[in-house]
Structure 1
Amino acid sequence: MLSLAPGEQKNFAVLPEATRDYTIRTFGEADSVMVLFEDQNGNLKFVEGDDDSGSELNAEMRVRLYQGRRYVLRIRLYLKYSAGDTGVMMW
């Protein structure tokens, strides 16, 4: 579980084991926003972003990722009144 304070964000490295479509989703009571970037030699290029496509206030995205590329998944707490624990999964 991630504990995010209001306005806080956490970054995660994503290194896909295969080129295919993936689902990435947050779980929990916090109102989270997710943004995925491709790391191109230290420059982050926007790939996909989501706010409330998942259930309740959770973020969800379906995106094609490519083996051998490095991605950065950024999760941010959207509103201070919805602070709390959240989890993230990719499948």
Structure 2
Amino acid sequence: MRKIHGWQHREYILRNIIIFYSDVYLNNKSQIEATITTTTTTIKNNEKKKKKKKKKKKKKKKKKKKKKKKKKKKKKKKKKKVL
């Protein structure tokens, strides 16, 4: 089966609505179709923006943690006791 995108499904629903009301609004049919095309394009653009934002989030690099260097303790020399 073909994968249906969200905007395609919405466009299909909008087209059905137009066909249903076209008998009532025969004079305004072209105007209504124009509004449908504008709404579908806005939906497409919004989804494209969302996808771009998601891609930008993935591109962010993780900051490398700097390893702290352990300081070496100096050994104290024991003085020999002279009798």
The two structures have a TM-score, normalised by structure 2, of 0.19
Q: Write 1 or 2 for the structure with the bigger share of helix.
A: 2
- Which of structures 1 and 2 has the bigger CA Rg? 2
Structure with greater contact order relative to length (CA < 8 Å, sep ≥ 6)? 1
The two structures have a TM-score, normalised by structure 1, of 0.18
